[in-house]
Amino acid sequence: MLTLLYFILAISLLVVIHEYGHFWVARRCGVRVLRFSVGFGKPLWSFRDRHGTEFAIAPIPLGGFVSMLDEREAPVPEHLQQQAFNRKSPWARIAIASAGPLANFIFAILAYWALFVAGTSGLVPVVGQVKPDSVAQLAGIRSGDEIVAVQQHPTPTWEAVNWQLLNFIGEDADIQLTVTDADGLQRQVWLSVNRWLAGPEVPDPFAALGLEPRQLPIPAIIGEVMPGEAAERAGLQAGDRIVAVNNDPVIDWYDWVERIRPTAGEALAVELERAGKTVTLVLTPGRRTDEQGNHSGFIGAQVAVPEYPAGWVRTSYSGVLEGLQRGWQKTVDLTVFTLDSLWKMLLGDVSVKNLSGPITIAKVAGASAAGGLEAFVGFLALLSVSLAVLNLLPVPVLDGGHILFYAAEILRGKPLPERVQAVAVQVGMFLLLSLMLVAFYNDIGRL
């Protein structure tokens, strides 16, 4: 229910921002707005302002719309014809169609600005393990190295490293990394990749390069037990410290997880410490299947995560003007990344299984909200950029398609023939529905 609530909150907020952009510019272009609706369907609640615009909330929270006076939709009284959308110049119509995506871009810039000014935190990108014979090892990366830049772009956190590496998906390239070793000596290394991560459905840049982030030592202490799962049935409780499995000592939480994974359906004798006493339980892990169809043991227990040491976390703050510049740059970078990813998907360099629909968006909304305000605001900004970019694609029925029609009208000196527009809209609807079906299929597969 919380996941659904955060999904509705995220979608509703971004739709209001998007549609308000259309609404605000339409009003200033002299267009009469009939309805501003958040959601689809029969309004659950509505009111009218002094201009006669109906503001409504509808029950299907998967979008919204601004309805304007238009002679192509219904007859318009003569005294109101100058307020009709279709009577406005192509330039005015382009401004109105562009205003929704522009509002989403502005929101993203302001959201990132607020985050940068308030301060953003992330794990310092220090390498933990390097897989033998991997791309990272062959390039000379060693355990304990800190990645300070990718292609000369500073990377203060692992998140920054990840975003820079994702730009190379599907490419043949020599990726330049600047690293600093434990003694503070800086050097350059190059990672040679070919059609990198073109095939995987869920790209993992770090695993593909053969490196792992530094791991926090985590003792095998149960933090939370999920109701109805194997851990609860066996009698495990929050605060229990796992000592041994089948008389074999457990080193830490990672070791505990590795013991559980291959033992689905197998009875295990688990020795643990509880309130200073030693307790032995019989635990039979259940079975879980991942997106690739691999099976593993699952008990339904979460770890009690200790606090990160101060030196492991890096927090950066920006001034008001610097934060605005960083917010602008972050939004531009995400826009370029989104367009580049779509292009690579068309070329087949990126799997279409990376497309996500509302189910995945809802799951990410819930997870980011659980991660705190910073994570949720960052998710909203990212989703806002995606919404803006997708709406500006030159596909009829989207804002970008309408802009394309109006631009053609400016070049021709008259509108495109109605038959051409009708066929284009049908093609656009087919493309959009096909995209939605693929996204829904991917969502269901991930479940």
Please write down the HEC assignment for all residues of 36-83. EEEEECCCCEEEECCCCCEEEECCEEEEEEEEECCCCCCCCCHHHHHH
Give me the domains of the chain, ranges plus CATH numbers: 94-119+317-447 (no CATH), 120-216+308-315 (2.30.42.10), 222-305 (2.30.42.10)
pLDDT of the residue at 5: 82
pLDDT of the residue at 360: 65
Note whether 215 and 254 are within 8 A (CB): yes
Cα–Cα distance list, 310 to 14, 122, 307, 317 (Å): 36, 11, 9, 16
Residue 308 CA to residue 88 CA, distance in Å, equals 59
- Residues written for the chain: 447
Note whether 143 and 128 are within 8 A (CB): yes
pLDDT of the residue at 447: 59
Residue 392 CA to residue 98 CA, distance in Å, equals 8
Name the CA dihedral angle for 251, 257, 261, 262, rounded to a multiple of 10 degrees.
0
Compute φ and ψ for 130, nearest 5 degrees: -120, 120
429 alpha carbon, distance to own chain's centre: 25
Which residue, among 103, 33, 97, 94, has the nearest Cα to 69 in the 3D structure? 33
pLDDT one-digit tens code per residue, 349-406: 776 776 676 666 666 667 776 778 888 899 899 999 999 999 999 988 899 999 999 9
Res. 157 pLDDT band, cuts 50 70 90: very high
Res. 446 pLDDT band, cuts 50 70 90: low
pLDDT one-digit tens code per residue, 64-98: 899 999 998 889 898 999 999 999 999 999 999 99
Which residue, among 180, 173, 112, has the nearest Cα to 149 in the 3D structure? 180
Note whether 389 and 338 are within 8 A (CB): yes
Residue 207 CA to residue 27 CA, distance in Å, equals 52
Residue 342 CA to residue 274 CA, distance in Å, equals 53
Does the annotation count 19 as an active-site position?
yes
Mean pLDDT value across the chain: 88
Note whether 213 and 127 are within 8 A (CB): yes
Kindly state the tokens that stand for 107: 């929101």
Note whether 245 and 259 are within 8 A (CB): yes
Catalytic residue among 19, 146, 229, 266: 19
pLDDT of the residue at 289: 77
pLDDT of the residue at 155: 93
Note whether 29 and 92 are within 8 A (CB): yes
Residue 190 CA to residue 177 CA, distance in Å, equals 6
Amino acid identity of residue 209, one-letter, is L
Residue 123 CA to residue 144 CA, distance in Å, equals 14
Lowest mean pLDDT among 21-30, 106-115, 290-299, 393-402: 290-299
Beta bridge partners of 149: 154, 178
pLDDT of 294 over the 80 cut? no
Percent of the chain beyond pLDDT 70?
93
- Please state the rounded mean pLDDT for residues 117-137: 92
Note whether 401 and 97 are within 8 A (CB): no
**Is residue 42 classed exposed, middle or buried when 0-12, 13-18 and 19+ CB atoms within 10 A define those classes?**
exposed
Residue 2 CA to residue 376 CA, distance in Å, equals 13
Residue found by looking up tokens 């996941």 in the block: 3
pLDDT of 203 over the 80 cut? no
pLDDT of the residue at 438: 76
Residue 194 CA to residue 140 CA, distance in Å, equals 18
Residue 11 CA to residue 247 CA, distance in Å, equals 51
